[in-house]
Amino acid sequence: MMCAEEYINDIMQTYNTALKEYNALIKELSTFDLTLQDILHNIELETFNAAEGYMLAKRIKEFRVERRKIKNAIEQLQIFISCLDESKLVKIKTRIKSKEEQQCKRKYTPRVLFDGECDYNNEAI
């Protein structure tokens, strides 16, 4: 049986993995954008024939399709990351740890029976 602390640790690990993936995708998107700008500047400044123009257009399309896949993944991860706010996860973990510490220090105060009044066989002493 898993305890609450293990569950929150799993959630936090998943959150951190998603955040790393999100940041990697942002960098990858930036690289795609810079590459597309290079191609567009090449088109702007160079002279090319119809076949070369077709190849440039084909290359742009390929980059745009891949870029769209990255943007779609980023949009989905944004939802996940924004809903699982790290500060809230840390607060949950802190509250669980605090509750665990309280439970370890818990003592019972008898309400009716007092020390020496009754043994464990329910016989009066």
Q: Mean pLDDT over all residues of the chain?
A: 88
Count of all residues that appear for the chain in the document: 125
The pLDDT tens digits of the residues spanning 38-52 come to: 999 999 999 999 999
Residue with the larger pLDDT of the pair 84 and 124: 84
Domain spans in the chain, listed from the N-terminal domain onward:
4-86
What gap in Å lies between CA 22 and CA 75, rounded to an integer?
A: 9
What pTM was computed for the model?
0.72
The pLDDT tens digits of the residues spanning 22-37 come to: 999 999 999 999 999 9
